[in-house]
Structure 1
Amino acid sequence: MFDNIQPVTISLRAAEEIRKIMQTKNIPANYGLRVGVKGGGCGVSLVIGFDKQKDADMAYTIDDIPVFIDKKHTMFLIGKEVDFYEGEDARGFVFIDPDKKEPVNSNV
């Protein structure tokens, strides 16, 4: 694994929720958090899920959570933070651009 390279960070709140999901939803032990992009052309959406590591992945660990990113997706993800939002209007994971302090286009 490339533990010293972390294009994406995870907030404490998101890490707690990810660990909870991994435990309560019986995510297999050899799976990790996959962070990537979907789409193309006019734009991409940032996505997360759980998956096995693939040959083309960068792999690193944050707070005991294995994180996998396809190397081709890295340029879209550098500097983003996975956060967890819980409000009266919605609940779920969001991507934050820490420089702008606002959510970015995501389908999570």
Structure 2
Amino acid sequence: MAIKLTERAAEEVMRFRKEHNFDDSMLLRIGVAGGGCSGFNYTLNFDDSFDMKADSKYDCHGVSVVVDKKSSLYLDGTEVDWYDSLEKQGFTFNNPNAVKSCGCGSSFQA
């Protein structure tokens, strides 16, 4: 299995890339880092590097997504969506590997 972006999330990534004049070669890097109230934080950033030995690469609705192999253990099967309402706006993670997550959804326990 892999990590997936919804069409709505991919549109937001492309909008952000265009707004900040990022080249189309910039990859969306998704990962995990230790921390947060539940143990791990999700990370999202743009990167221009891809290591075939250390990373996995996916194409999601025209967006190239890169995940390092260590993060892949925690993110396998995760769907990233874009949420937009009056009280909250941002990316959400539907992670089947999360045993517990915090109230804001930015950290999880596996």
- Is this a same-fold pair by TM over 0.5? yes
Aligned counterparts, 1:5-84, within 5 A: 7-39=2-34, 43-55=39-51, 56-84=54-82
Q: Secondary structure at the match of 1:84?
A: strand
Q: Residue by residue, what CA displacement relative to the aligned partner does 1:1-38 show, whole Å, maximum 9, x if unpaired?
A: xxxxx511111111111111111211123211111001
Aligned pair count reads 99
Maintained 8 Å contact 1:86/1:92: yes
Q: Percent identity of the aligned residues?
A: 34
Partners of 2:106 and 2:77 in 1: CA distance: 15
Distance in structure 1 (CA, Å) of the matches to 2:67 and 2:90: 20
TM-score by length of 1: 0.78
The alignment yields a C-alpha RMSD, in angstroms, of: 2.5
Of residues 80, 85, 94, the one that matches 1:87 is 85
> Which 5+ residue runs of structure 1 have no aligned equivalent?
1-5
The alpha-carbon deviation at position 88 of structure 1 amounts to 1.3
Aligned-partner residue type, residue 28 of structure 1: D
**How far apart in 1 are the matches of 2:16 and 2:4?**
18
TM-score w.r.t. structure 2 length?
A: 0.76
In the TM superposition, what whole-angstrom CA distance separates every residue of 1:44-77 from its partner, at most 9, and x where no partner exists?
A: 1112111123322111211111111011110110
